Structure 1
Amino acid sequence: MLQDFPEIDAGSGVKRQVLSEAPELMVVAFTFAEGGEGALHSHPHVQSTYVRSGRFRFSVAGESFEVGPGDSFVIPSNAEHGCTCLKAGQLIDTFTPRRDDFL
Structure 2
Amino acid sequence: MFVKTYPEVAADPGIRRQVLSQTPELMVVAFRFQQEGAEGKLHHHVHVQSTYVESGRFRFSIDGEAFEVGPGDSFVIPSDALHGCVCLEPGTLIDTFTPRRDDFL
- Please give the range of the TM-score, normalised by the shorter of the 2 chains: over 0.9
1:12-57 Cα shifts (integer Å, max 9, x gaps): 2100000000000000000002211100000000000000000000
Structure 1 unaligned residues grouped into runs of 5+: none
Please name the residue that 1:21 is paired with. 22
Please name the residue that 1:74 is paired with. 76
How do 1:1-103 residues align onto structure 2 when only pairs under 5 Å count?
A: 1-33=2-34, 34-103=36-105
How many residues in Structure 1 have an aligned counterpart in Structure 2?
103
TM-score, length of structure 1 as denominator length: 0.98
The more displaced of 9-18 and 83-92 is 9-18
Give, in angstroms, the shift of residue 11 of structure 1. 2.2
Q: Once the two structures are aligned, what percentage of the paired residues are identical?
A: 72
Give structure 1 regions of 4+ aligned residues with deviation exceeding 4 angstroms: none
TM-score, length of structure 2 as denominator length: 0.97
**Equivalent residue letter for 2:61:** S
